[in-house]
Amino acid sequence: MRTSIMAGVAAGTLLAAGAAAPAFAVEDGKADLSVLHGIPGLTVDVYVNGALTLDDFAPGDLAGPLSLDPGTYSVALTASDAADDSAPVLGPIDLPLAEGMSYTAVAHLMANGDPTATLFTNDISETASGEGRLTVRHTAAAPAVDVWADGAVAFSSLENPNEMMADLPAATYEAAVSLAGETDPVLGPADVPVEEGSNTIVYAWGSAADGNLALAVQSVATHTGMPAEVSAGTQGLAADGDAVPVGVIVLGAAALAAAGLATRAVLVRR
């Protein structure tokens, strides 16, 4: 897979845009991977199998999705403009992707402010006619939060790095985030469209203490007739401080650069 990745890098460029448009359902025999850079103040270079794959992957960038062969990829993360990957900031680490699955790898801060990474599995199971899926992921250096939709609490006491989701009638909702048990928003309110046949994923990232909390929005197409046992959630990549971020950020960055599909996450100052 290294050859195709590097070929994509040579041909593709990073594109700045708004929220990522919904992707098609996962291609047969493939796995989809997107990556979100949610660590403020850290720009990195990404290496895959020892080859420079992405220069200057910046905070707030959302890249992908890239359709990849299932398998394990060795990735490493270095300081921006490093000569090579001999002195990685994180990694190298092996990152496995399973066939038929949709993933988003997020480099982010833990609740205490330490950098880490989490690999989320995007729920692309079928939604009912006229409905879409809303997923909210807490990836910010902040305590537990409540998520509001149209003036009412939709998800309560969401902690980093967990997620909550619900299927809702397709519509545009006014969303806001407050500290758990409080009513004053720390993010938002902002309009979030939930579209039929899509999983709209909202990320809270940044640092409450540093005053740079922001939102990123991703849309992933749901798949008609997906098996019910395909679940969504974290994959436990945040357990190992250094190794995890490397694999997540690097592979995601590599995927984005390779396909030339990187997009700019919608950042909403809350």
pLDDT in tens, 61-72: 888 888 889 988
Q: Are 248 and 234 in contact (CB under 8 A)?
A: no
Euclidean distance between CA atoms 188 and 201, whole angstroms? 15
pLDDT at position 24: 59
Specify the DSSP element, H or E, that contains 245. Answer: helix 243-259
pLDDT at position 186: 93
Residue with tokens 């849309």: 219
More confident residue, 146 or 43: 146
Assigned token pair, 120: 């989320």
Looking at residues 146-156, what average pLDDT do you find? 95
pLDDT at position 185: 94
Query: Does 216 have pLDDT greater than 60?
Result: yes
Looking at residues 180-199, what average pLDDT do you find? 94
Specify the DSSP element, H or E, that contains 259. Answer: helix 243-259
pLDDT in tens, 236-250: 434 343 333 333 333
What residue ranges do the domains of the chain occupy? 2-264
pLDDT in tens, 39-95: 899 888 877 778 787 789 889 988 888 888 998 877 777 889 899 999 887 777 777
Q: What pTM was computed for the model?
A: 0.74
Q: Are 232 and 104 in contact (CB under 8 A)?
A: no
